[in-house]
Every structure is written in C-alpha cells, then in structure tokens.
Amino acid sequence: MNKTKPSDLTDQRPINRPDLELDHVMTNRRLFDISQDFLITLTLTGAIADVNQAFIKATGYPKKDLIDSNLFQYMADFEQAKTGFRHVLEQGSVTNNLCGIKRADASIIPVIFNATVLTDAHDQVIGVFAEARDVTETQIKEKELRYLRDNLEHLIKERTDELETTKMLLKSSLESPQDMIILSIDKQYRYLFFNQAHKAAMKYAYGKDVVEGQNLMDQITSPSDREKSKRNYELALSGTSHTTIEQYGDIVVSYYETFYNPVYNEQHEIVGATAFARNITERINAETQLRQQNNLTAALLKILPVGVFMVDSKTGKPLIANEAAQHMLGRGILPDANKHNLSHVYKAHKPGETEAYPTNEMPIVLGMQGKESHIDDMVVERPDGSQSLLEIFGTPLLDEKGTPWASLVTFMDITERRQYEQNLIYVGFHDQLTGLYNRRFFEEELLRLNTKRNYPLSIVMGDVNGLKLVNDSF
C-alpha cells in the first residue's frame, strides 16, 4: 500500500484539516457516540478532528475546546504520545499501547490505546483513527491480584487462624451446656458431629463409645429406641422440624426432650439433620410426683366432712372450695368475689343480725394479713333460703420469705350442735315438769348475785299450800 510520508510533527505550519468528518470513518454516528470506549480521529499533525461522548465525559473538556486542539497536550507523557503517533504513521497501526490521559481536573485516566491510519479513496493517508479503553478498574483488580499473590501465604495463614478460632468458639459453644446433647448426622445417619454430652449419654444408655463417621442407628442397641430414632430423623430429613418427649436407653432408661431440625446447604437442599436433647427424667419424675400429690389432695378434699376454702392473699379471689364447702355455703367459687365483698357475695352475717359479717373479723381476711383466727358466730344464707351456723378456723399460707400467698379456712356446720347445747343449758336450769327454774339455777344465781356490789341482799321465801299433795300425786 502506497502511503504518503507524513510531515514532520514539529512542523508548526497552520493546520490544514482535511475533511475527516465521521462519515469518512464510520457510517453510523450513533454507534460512534454510544461506544463506552474513547474514539478519536486525528489529522496528520495530531490535531483532534472528532471525538465521541465517552471521551468528552471522561476528560471533562467541552467538545468545542477539544476540536482542532493537539491531542498530545492531553496526554500524561507528551513525548510518549508523539512517539506513538509517529509509529502509527510509519507502521500503519499501533496496538495495546498503555498511556495516560489528563482530565480537566489534572487527574490521570490510564488507558490502552489502539490506533490505525485513515486513507482516502486513492489509498492516501489522510489521518489517524484512535480507540482508547479506560483500564482504571482493570489496574485496580491487577493491583489486588498482585497483592493477593505477594501476600498469599500470609493471607492463607491469617484465614486459617480465623477458621481455627471460629472452630474453637463453635466447639466451646456446643460443649458449654453440660446438660444439652447436641449432634448432627448426614442423610445416611452417619455422625457429622456430636458433643461430649452425647458421647456420655450413649455410653450411659447403651454402653457404646461413639466416634464421628459411625452410623448412629448401629450404636442404638434397643430395637424400640432405634425405631423411634429413625422415625424422628426421617421426619427431620424430610424438612419437618419437631419436638418429642420420649424414653430412651437400654442399660439405663431416661426421659429426653429432643428438638429435631433439617440441615440445608447453600442451594437449600437438605443434607442432614441435627438433634438437641436434654435429659428431663428428674423433671418428669417431679411432675409425676406432683400430679400424684395433687390427686391425693383432691381426694382428701373430696372426702373431708369439713369445708375447705382458700383465697389468694393479694386479691381475695377464691382458689379452692371442696364439696363440703360448696354444700355448706350453697355456692362454689364465685368469679366476682374479692377480699372486699366476701361476706356480701356469700351472704354471711352474725346470728340475729341482717348486716354483712364485718370484713375485718372474718378469718379468711385475717389469714390474708398473716393472722390465725377462730370464730363460731357466722351465719351463712344459702340460695334456697336455708341458713347454717358455721364454726371457722383460719390460717395464712406463707412462702419461703414468710409472706402470705394464700389464706385458708376450714369450717363446719354447728347449727344442730348449737341447738343441742342450748337445750342442755335449758334442761340444766329448768324443771322438766313445770318449766320453772330449778334449784341448780337458784344456786348459780345465788353465786352470781352474792357479791359486795349487790349488798344489801335480801331473800324472800314463800310456801305453797298443798305442794306435797301435788308431788305425791304425780
């Protein structure tokens, strides 16, 4: 190819800019402007004939200032730029030439330049077309790669130390709860991890010394335990988290509360299962014992012939009323009862009175204050209108600090007993035949009246004619 020899770059003659509009270089202006690379056309003297928007935006110079100005003044290394431009004109092209472009703010854009000569229809060189790519990000990545390469051994050691620390912390976290059994298995039931609590439990329950990699099911010597374990792990491996309370053990049987969960990988695929278990044998035994005690208490309350009534010490809300209490009161536990209205809602008053029994004298209220008490003068009116006279014994129930947490009363219906006592008193002081006071009454009254405050005291005696005849006749 015949190329016209370029003029000397130092020639300072006025720029004779040939028609280098973009239609001589590219057929589509849009493609030129939307390119992310810097596109430039130059005259044979290095003057800028045209630039695309990427170059304008990157450098910060307006297009009007760039056109007809010399490209070399925007290059970080002026001499390198002139040498490269001369090379293009002499050799026809240059590729992968690393250099820098100065921005308007004086910062440098590192770029890779590729350039080729432009020719006219007669194959005569009329200018240069250059393409530059911003390699700032590339250089940053190359710098990072160099750093990683130069510090690889240190980084590996640093990361290894971090992993070891994380592993130690994780292991410590898993081992720290002494009463919590923790283990994980893969989908073939092989151990991936277990803590010392699990190892000890397997030795205690089945006499097995387990190691990682073993099949969990092979270490369970009880067929029924193996069946339960497999069922629970299959459920977890299917994606279902669940909790169980079951008995396990062959040599020693214990109750365990176990939480089963699936293990997922980064693709959210199930790759195993975990189990967190706690030996709750003591709790189960305590609950069983408490349940038995509650059943015994309920049975005793049911068969006791006396009424038993208990309220909360703070609110006075009824907590317990056994069958005898409900029968005597004619009512059970009333939801609207409290320490202020107990005598009203249970219709309690003193004999011969209609006003409610004084709250501050009621044994159930005194028990809330931590006081023991006893009364035998409370009348309770039942819904059917019948009444009972009650004898009541009250006592507080204290917590470990000696503070009342409940008030308890026991009571019995003494209506018949009080009537019998009154009858005995009447018979003791009256003659059965005449209904008159007898000699015992006279002697009791004499003792009662024979005091200094009653002096002077006179006794009047009378005679009844024919009394002997009456006594002999009857």
The 10s digit of each residue's pLDDT in 177-234 is 667 898 999 999 999 989 889 999 999 899 999 999 999 999 999 999 999 999 999 9
The span from the CA of 238 to the CA of 262, in Å, is 8
- What's the order of all strands across the beta sheet hosting 125-134? 48-51, 38-42, 125-134, 108-119, 93-102
The DSSP call for residue 86 is H
The span from the CA of 29 to the CA of 459, in Å, is 151
7-11, 283-287, 289-293: segment of lowest average pLDDT: 7-11
125 phi and psi angles, rounded to 5 deg: -70, 125
Cα–Cα distance list, 311 to 56, 58, 255, 337, 407 (Å): 90, 86, 36, 10, 5
| Residue 291 pLDDT exceeds 50 | yes
- The answer to whether 48 and 61 are in contact (CB under 8 A) is no
pLDDT tens-digit profile of 23-43?
A: 444 445 677 778 888 999 999
- The answer to whether 395 and 367 are in contact (CB under 8 A) is yes
pLDDT tens-digit profile of 87-105?
A: 999 999 999 989 999 999 9
| Residue 341 pLDDT exceeds 60 | yes
Strand pairing of 93-102 and 108-119? antiparallel
User: Which tokens go with 223?
Assistant: 């067929």
| Residue 173 pLDDT exceeds 50 | yes
The span from the CA of 206 to the CA of 199, in Å, is 11
Residue with structure tokens 């010399």?
Answer: 70
Strand ranges in 137-212 using DSSP code E only, listed in sequence order: 180-186, 191-194
The span from the CA of 274 to the CA of 258, in Å, is 10
Burial class of residue 43 (count of CB atoms within 10 Å of its CB; 0-12, 13-18, 19+):
buried
92 phi and psi angles, rounded to 5 deg: 95, -20
The DSSP call for residue 251 is S
| Residue 454 pLDDT exceeds 80 | no
- Helix (H) or strand (E) holding 247, with range, is strand 242-248
Per-residue pLDDT averaged across 312-327, rounded? 93
- The answer to whether 368 and 407 are in contact (CB under 8 A) is yes
Structure confidence at residue 23 (pLDDT): 44
Neighbouring-strand partners of residue 380: 348, 388
Output 391-399 pairs: Cβ under 8 A, ≥24 positions apart. 392/363, 392/364, 393/363, 394/362, 394/363, 394/364, 394/366, 394/367, 395/367, 396/313, 396/367, 396/368, 396/369, 396/370, 396/371, 396/372, 397/310, 397/313, 397/367, 398/370
Which amino acid belongs to residue 268?
H
The span from the CA of 141 to the CA of 135, in Å, is 10
> If we measure between CA atoms, which residue out of 234, 235, 236, 202 comes closest to residue 221?
202
Tell me how far the alpha carbon of residue 323 is from its chain's centroid: 43
Cα–Cα distance list, 253 to 16, 144, 290 (Å): 104, 61, 21
Q: 3-class DSSP state for residue 51?
A: strand
DSSP string covering 395-434: EEEE-TTS-EEEEEEEEEE-HHHHHHHHHHHHHHHB-TTT
Of residues 27 and 329, the one with the higher pLDDT is 329
Q: 3-class DSSP state for residue 114?
A: strand
* Residue 120 pLDDT grade (very low, low, confident, very high; cuts 50, 70, 90): confident
Q: 3-class DSSP state for residue 109?
A: strand
> If we measure between CA atoms, which residue out of 260, 232, 230, 257 comes closest to residue 245?
257
Per-residue pLDDT averaged across 448-461, rounded? 77
| Residue 438 pLDDT exceeds 80 | yes
User: Which tokens go with 363?
Assistant: 């044994």
Query: In this structure, what is the dihedral angle of CA atoms 250, 255, 256, 257, given to the nearest 10 degrees?
Result: 150
> If we measure between CA atoms, which residue out of 39, 43, 41 comes closest to residue 6?
43
pLDDT tens-digit profile of 390-421?
A: 999 999 999 999 999 999 999 999 998 888 88
Q: What's this model's pTM, rounded to 2 decimal places? A: 0.47
Q: 3-class DSSP state for residue 205?
A: helix
> Where do runs of H (alpha helix) occur along 275-322?
281-303
Q: What is the C-alpha R_g of the chain?
A: 55
